Amino acid sequence: MQIDTIVLDAENHVTLTAFLQDVGGEYRGVSKRPGLIVIPGGGYLFVSDREAEPVVWPYLNAGYDVFVLRYTVGEKSAWPRPLQDYEMAFAAILALADSWHLDRERIAVAGFSAGGHLAGAAATVSKYRPAAAILGYAVLNETVDEINQDAPRIYECVTKDTCPCFLFASRSDNVVPIRNTIDMLSALEKFGISFETHIYAGGPHGFSTGEMAIQGRTSSFCPRIPDWVGDSIGFLKDVFGELTTEGMTKPRYKARVDGDQDAFLSFDCTIGRIFSRPAAKEAIQPLIDRMRREIRPDRPDMTLEEMLDSLKRMTLRDLCMENQIPISPEMEEALEKVPNI
């Protein structure tokens, strides 16, 4: 393994430490690796070491190249300085991606507390968007006013282009209230963004990986808190695919839970969206005819159209799978030619 530290801004002590693994050789079939940028917290006053290198090791074990960003804090951390630090770091990573054998399409961020705010900004307002974000007990709503007054409220910045997010926090956090995570979840749900969340019943703010060597335990500390690490790696496998000795597998989930925001229709769009477009119904008329023959509505007096209306939030792909109706490549292609307008 190679460990490099790049000084991005000497005056403000902004650095990017890269933990780079080999490819090829004993790692047969691995020609490039996904990446993760770790952004520690510290209330924009300092950069927490507990949320830096200790977070690196599990992701290295999962096959990632990992980067730790130490950004501007203290008196010079007024917004948008921290975001500019992140963008410098991401630009540096992209510039070296080929020589580092890094998959530039699979770079995620993981941020904690104030670092979670910066990671959230990366996911929503940066010119360099990550492909996924891990947000740990992150500052995501008006709580940011207490630590960086001009910084954005991340949940208000979520759009259909926000990347998939993994969020975790403690219900009893008395530094960054759980409402930050809940507000963010609501925004992600509104725009149909894929996400996973774990809100633990008890635990202090800033528990990092939750391991005994990092965080002391009290009777209210949820013993499942350390599980977030493995769960987040599992989430990245879901949205990136898994790195194997034969390369990356296909992702299990797309960035959005359905295709309703895509430029063209597909079987991943909702039934309501597809059947509200006459051109779409014409494109898949043979499939509709088969559905009419083979799908039994919930009630004897219910028509297929009434049943489809009751299932309008389900994707057409899920409906076909549930009723064991195959989708031909020709039908996929025909639907994907219909503009989603």
pLDDT at residue 28 tops 80: yes
Mean pLDDT of 4-18: 97
Domains and CATH numbers, the chain: 2-248 (3.40.50.1820), 271-335 (no CATH)
pLDDT at residue 276 tops 90: yes
Which pLDDT tens digit goes with each residue over 296-326? 888 888 999 999 999 999 999 999 999 999 9
- Looking at residue 296, its pLDDT comes to 86
Which pLDDT tens digit goes with each residue over 191-214? 999 999 999 999 999 999 999 888
Which of helix, strand or coil describes residue 323?
coil
The answer, as to whether pTM is greater than 0.85, is yes
247 pLDDT tier (thresholds 50, 70, 90): confident
- Looking at residue 234, its pLDDT comes to 98
Which pLDDT tens digit goes with each residue over 59-94? 999 999 999 999 999 999 999 999 999 999 999 999
DSSP per residue, 192-247: TB-EEEEEESS--TT-TT--TTTS---TTS-TTTTHHHHHHHHHHHHHH--EETTE
Task: Give 163's contacts (C-beta < 8 A, 6+ positions apart).
Answer: 123, 129, 130, 131, 132, 133, 193, 255
